[in-house]
Amino acid sequence: MLAPRDLDLAYRQALDAVGRALRIPAWPEVPVRWNRRLRRAGRAIIEGHGNAFRRASIEISPAYFEVYPEDLYGILVHEAVHVGLALRGLPFGHGPDFRNACGTAGGQLHGRALPGRVYRYRCPVCESILERYRRLARDRWCAVCAEAAGGREGVDPYSPVRALVLVGTAFKGPEPRP
Ligand SMILES: [Zn+2]
Ligand SMILES: [Zn+2]
């Protein structure tokens, strides 16, 4: 997870840049928060439009920014442009106004595909950590340790006590194409 002050700083810079691009002299309170269930980089939640603007907030994905921290400013600008357009009473989808303001403020028009989850396994023999894109359905073994044990008297390289143990998950970029 990013340090809160890095998020604060990037967010303030994003609001400043979008405020200049859309001529918004002062922003209302627009909270930004992490949402673990988000299936993309970020989103803007907007209630009301123009004179009827009520409130807005921005949500960002911790999984996404764990892998692409360098996208933080660009995505915050993107979401802030949605909010700024709604504040100004302009159409706030991805139309021409959006693309202009997003480009001027240095935002990203598109997020990248949300990175996938990897499963982390520990080899109980050598203690190394292996990552797999899929959860293992059956026992699997560390190739190095299985090979090292092969042919050694009294050691079954494929005994269940030597099988990989699931220790957690992490987020990584999309699965490479085979
Ligand atoms: Zn958008
Ligand atoms: Zn091992």
Which residue has 């996938």 as its token pair? Answer: 116
Residue 173 confidence (pLDDT):
67
User: What ranges in 27-151 are assigned the alpha helix state H?
Assistant: 62-67, 72-88, 96-104, 143-149
Ligand number nearest to the C-alpha of 58: 1
Q: Would you state the pLDDT for residue 114?
A: 78
Q: Any idea which ligand is nearest the CA of 162?
A: 2
Residue with tokens 């949605």: 82
Neighbours of 44 (CB within 10 A): 20
For the CA of 78, the nearest ligand = 1
**Domain range annotation of the chain:** 4-104, 116-172
Task: Report the pLDDT value the prediction gives residue 1, as an integer from 0 to 100.
Answer: 60
- pTM of structure: 0.71
Cα of 177 vs centre of ligand 1, distance in Å, is: 27
Give 117 Cα–ligand 1 centroid separation in angstroms.
24
CA of 43 to the centre of ligand 1 (A): 7
pLDDT tens-digit readout, 129-161: 998 878 888 999 999 999 999 878 889 999 999
Q: So what's the architecture of 4-104 in CATH?
A: 2-Layer Sandwich (3.30)
- Could you count the other beta carbons within 10 Å of the beta carbon of residue 159? 11
Ligand 1 centre to CA of 78 (Å) is 6
- Residues 40-65 have pLDDT tens digits of 999 999 999 999 999 999 999 988 88
